[in-house]
Amino acid sequence: MNLILLGAPGAGKGTQGKTLSESYSIPQISTGDILRANVRNKTPLGQKAREYMDKGALVPDDVVVNMVVDRIRQDDCLNGFILDGFPRNLNQASVLETTLKGMGKKIDLAIGIDVEKKELVRRLSGRRVCRKCGASYHVIFNPPVNIGMCDKCGSEIYQRDDDKEETIEARLNVYEQETMPLIEFYSAKGLYRSIDGIGPVDKITKAITDAIAEGNDNL
């Protein structure tokens, strides 16, 4: 199964992607995680990507597409994969479709996790990350025991530049302009399913797995 998770920043794609990856034993491919790792390690790709990420803008298509395609070609993707945060626009979707076709693969389903903008801002602006081990927290939903300190390693936790309110607005605007058309793209192919992203995590997971089961029945 080759699955795409669509949704605005903060919709919960990462959380659901991890759960689905464990349930179906296929890798979760998160462009956000890969890009942030490159930024953290100060690789050439990371230096280039950071210029855009700090502004809340999308990283250029050529950088992202090449990175994702290389990942899909790895052996652990032979039985399927979950794309989290990719594609982000119609150009990326088109290149992905062409590339997969050349590999004898295709996208089986695109799941959209829907969350209203006000809730997205609340979720994103409260996120915090450990500088050393990368553990994630939230000032409302999952605060650390000691303010400003990681529970796991004791290092400083901080707010990423792309989780600050002024940047969040830019990120959501970019999403609406660039990514929303993907709903029409995959709907036209009969591959799109919309899921309500408000509520308990396990309830959302159940809705997604039900959509996947229904989609597999129709394959």
Which residues belong to the active site?
13, 88, 127, 160, 171
Separation of alpha carbons 56 and 140, rounded Å: 23
CA 138 to the chain's CA centroid? 17
Cα(178)–Cα(143) distance, integer angstroms: 32
What dihedral angle (degrees, nearest 10) is formed by the CA atoms of 77, 83, 87, 93?
50
DSSP 76: G
Length of the chain in terms of residues written: 219
**Rounded Cα distance, 100 and 88, in Å:** 16
Closest CA to 103 of 211, 190, 2: 2
Q: Which two tokens stand for residue 78?
A: 């032979």
Extract the tokens encoding 23: 């349930």
With H, G, I as helix, E, B as strand and everything else as coil, classify residue 79.
coil
137 Cβ neighbours under 8 A, 6+ residues apart: 127, 128, 129, 130, 143, 144, 150, 151, 157
